[in-house]
Amino acid sequence: MSKGKRPAVLFVCLGNICRSPTAEAVFRARAAAAGLDVEIDSAGTGAWHVGKSPDPRAQAAGEARGYDLSPLRARQVKAADFQRFDLILAMDEDNYEMLCLKAPGDVRERIVMMMDFAPDHPERSVPDPYYGGDDGFAHVLDMLEEASDGLIAHLSR
């Protein structure tokens, strides 16, 4: 982390309409509750949904737990992100590999799997809920709440 600046974290998935906006909203709420001053954003490796609101199922699942995803709009990861963010958190292995391909070499150590911050959880990747049922969105929330708390503990050290 660079000195004298609040940490900046970027959550990344494929479309930036399901998992990473959920991660952004969950982490924003829990970091604020923990009194952590941190810059937070999310983006997708793909461009299909740029400018769109989060998936209505992700918004509904989040709202049921008190998270507001409605102000968020999808964007694609851009070159400047690799300079701006101290930690770039990939939701799954594909996102991780795509980020490593796009990033300058010295940035790779700042690209990590989100679930590295939930070491007791059995899954290493947050599963893509886009083609599944509503229970997939609740499962994504369970995983991201656990990993967010681990990330908050890490940044608070």
User: Residue 15, interface with ligand 4NP (CB under 6 A)?
Assistant: yes
The separation between CA 46 and the C-alpha centre of its own chain, rounded to angstroms, equals 14
Q: How many other CB atoms are there within 10 angstroms of residue 112's CB atom?
A: 17
User: Residue 145, interface with ligand 4NP (CB under 6 A)?
Assistant: no
Contact with ligand 4NP (CB under 6 A) among 7, 10, 11, 16: 16
Q: How far is the CB of 13 from ligand 4NP (least distance, A)?
A: 4
Single out the residue of 22, 5, 9 nearest to residue 128, CA to CA.
Answer: 22
Contact with ligand 4NP (CB under 6 A) among 7, 9, 10, 19: 19
Contact with ligand 4NP (CB under 6 A) among 10, 17, 40, 88: 17
Q: What amino acid occupies position 98?
A: M
Query: With contact defined as beta carbons under 8 Å apart, do 32 and 143 qualify?
Result: no
Starting at the earlier edge strand, list the strands of the sheet with 39-44. 39-44, 8-13, 87-90, 111-113
**Structure tokens belonging to residue 7:** 């940490």
- Write the interaction track for ligand 4NP spanning residues 24-53; mark x where CB under 6 A is met and - where it is not: ------------------------x-----
Residues with active-site annotation: 13, 19, 128
List of residues contacting ligand 4NP (CB under 6 A)? 13-19, 48, 128, 130
